[in-house]
A and B are shown apart, each in its own frame.
Chain A
Amino acid sequence: MKVTQQASDNILTLILDGELDASSSVLLDTELAKPEILNYQKVLIDCQRLNYISSAGLGVFISHLQRFQDAGVKLVFFNMQDKVHNVFEILGLDALMTIVPSVTEATAI
């Protein structure tokens, strides 16, 4: 699992590359837990190269969402593969998190 950051203006984009499971999700958790991330207005998660997510990966996002919302930071997922979207959808997380098709929509939110 590789996490690459791109920051511009008030937007931080995290580009996820690889598989997010119980072994690899610690890295992402560390990134999302950094206090300075709350200085951005939006955190975009580019999921194009996210090939797999388990409950441990979902748990990382679930555990930080309220903190982001309380700080007024929008968390937006985009470019999600169907198989990964299916994992969010089966739990109803697609209704509780913001998932959009492309970076254009993600930026416009």
Chain B
Amino acid sequence: MANTNIHITTTINGQPYEFLAPSYMSLLDALREIVGLTGTKEGCLDGNCGACTVNVDGRIVDSCLVLAAEIDGCEVETVEGMASSEGLHPLQKAFLEEAALQCGICTPGFLVAAKGLLDNEPNPSEHRIRHWLAGNLCRCTGYDKIVKAVQKVSSEG
């Protein structure tokens, strides 16, 4: 195997991180295996399910299709960064109150994706919510309660 390790300096959930990752390693694997944040999930490894969604420099991305090497110097946000010492993010609270998760494996991806929407568009229509979240697959809920949870947060301002 190639011996090239890439030196990566980044900020993850507001914390500085510095580590070596193999040149061919995805950001998803780097988060889960090297940084130790397993909240971001593996679903398909080909950008079709969104379970691995994280936020890089303000844009939501499928971390399975980003090389760890590519986020050197970038700011990364994962689900683990959504809650603060003051409590859960409004989206996390809404997901619980609206029962917008069943097995929960897609939930981190949906939370990061939904946050990416509401951070830029605080009052999206239902169609816009569904369109924005179309890159996140859920097999348990039929999306109904997920959409309702996002609508709840957007209506509460």
Do the two shown chains form a genuine complex with each other? no
B residues apposed to A, CB below 8 Å? none
